[in-house]
Chain A
Amino acid sequence: MFDLIVFLVLLTTGYIFGQWLERSHYRSIRKREEDLRSIPVIASKRLPDELCPCHTRMVVGNVVISIDFFKKFLASLRYLIGGRVSSYESLIDRARREAILRMKQQAKLAGANYVFNVKMETSSISKGRRETIGSVEVLAYGTAIIPANN
């Protein structure tokens, strides 16, 4: 009985805080994406000739985001029937966009106008045991192109 009450309390706090944090995070992501739209992020390796002469600099952005209790519970229900685990999808989407934003922020500070050859790397911080922390790290890195007259 006591276990059930603890479980329900965790579930509701997870739901309330998790939803609230996710919504405010998405709001801030959208706002910053709007601000940083002037710096295109490009996955190609080769620089077009018209961008040169320029300086280059490596820029990196990373973020670790944790799942909340409610979503973890939803995902564990999903395992019974299979299919898309949308509660994890939004988590990873948030992490990716945040990492790219942090990378772009660094590029903006350096005075860059493009970021080339962007690579992403995703890793789960802890896996295995049931009681461990479910969180994901995303690292985005690329080469910022700074015009030479700066």
Chain B
Amino acid sequence: MLLTTIESVPGKKIVKHLGLVQGSTVRSKHIGRDMMAGLKNIFGGELKGYTELLQESREEAIQRMSLQAESIGANAILNIRFSTSSITQGAAELYTYGTAVELEDNRV
């Protein structure tokens, strides 16, 4: 699965346009991480636990999107965008979407 944020893949032709695919995940932080973050709030600086948590969740959203694209027979997703929204206190939704396409296979 080829993932990209631009609208075309250089050197390859799009043979089929398969529409929008999307993946999302809602995550909440756990209490231990939250306490550490509360402490960090006094000193300032990077919250490594949150950075990792968000990164993992985003990868999962990408994974779900790729699965959906695979199931409709795409081999690439173009024009990918991310978006984040906090739903309630302490939970965030990570959402990613893109255009699933089928690329020609003969040229690399």
Pair from one complex: yes
**Which B29-81 residues sit within 8 Å CB-CB of chain A?**
34, 37-38, 40-47, 50-51, 54-55, 58, 80-81
CA distance A69 to B85 in the complex (A): 25
Contacts of A71 in B (CB 8 A): 44
Which B residues are closer than 8 A to A by beta carbons? 2-11, 34, 37-38, 40-47, 50-51, 54-55, 58, 80-86, 89-90, 92
Q: Is A125 touching B58 in the complex (CB atoms < 8 A)?
A: no
Interface residues of B, dominant DSSP: mixed
Chain B residues whose C-beta falls within 8 Å of the C-beta of A60 in the assembled complex: 55, 58
User: A58 an interface residue at 8 Å Cβ cutoff?
Assistant: yes
Q: Please tell me if the beta carbons of A10 and B2 are within 8 angstroms of each other in the complex.
A: no
With an 8 Å Cβ cutoff, the count of chain A residues facing the other chain is 52
Please provide the chain A residues from 37 to 82 with a CB less than 8 Å away from any CB of chain B in the complex. 45-47, 51-54, 56-58, 60, 62-69, 71-72
Are B44 and A51 neighbours in the complex by a CB distance under 8 Å? no
User: A65–B46 contact, CB under 8 A?
Assistant: yes
Instruction: Assess the A141–B86 pair: CB atoms within 8 A.
Output: no
Contacts of B8 in A (CB 8 A): 47
Q: A21-B45, A22-B44, A64-B46 are in contact. Are A56 and B4 (CB under 8 A)?
A: yes
Cβ A142 vs Cβ B54 within 8 A? no
Asked whether A132 is an interface residue with its Cβ less than 8 Å from the other chain, the reply is: yes
Whole-angstrom distance between the Cβ of A130 and the nearest chain B Cβ: 12
Expressed in whole angstroms, the Cα–Cα distance for A53 and B43 within the complex equals: 48
Distance, CA A117 to CA B78, complexed state (A): 12
- A25: interface (CB < 8 Å): yes
Q: Which A residues are CB-close (under 8 A) to B83?
A: 121
The residues of B that contact A45 with a CB separation of less than 8 Å are 6-7
Known interface pairs A58-B3, A62-B54, A133-B37; 8 further A-B residue pairs with C-beta atoms within 8 A, sorted by A's residue number: A14-B44, A18-B45, A56-B2, A64-B50, A65-B47, A119-B5, A121-B82, A135-B37
Distance to closest chain A CB from B14 (angstroms)? 14
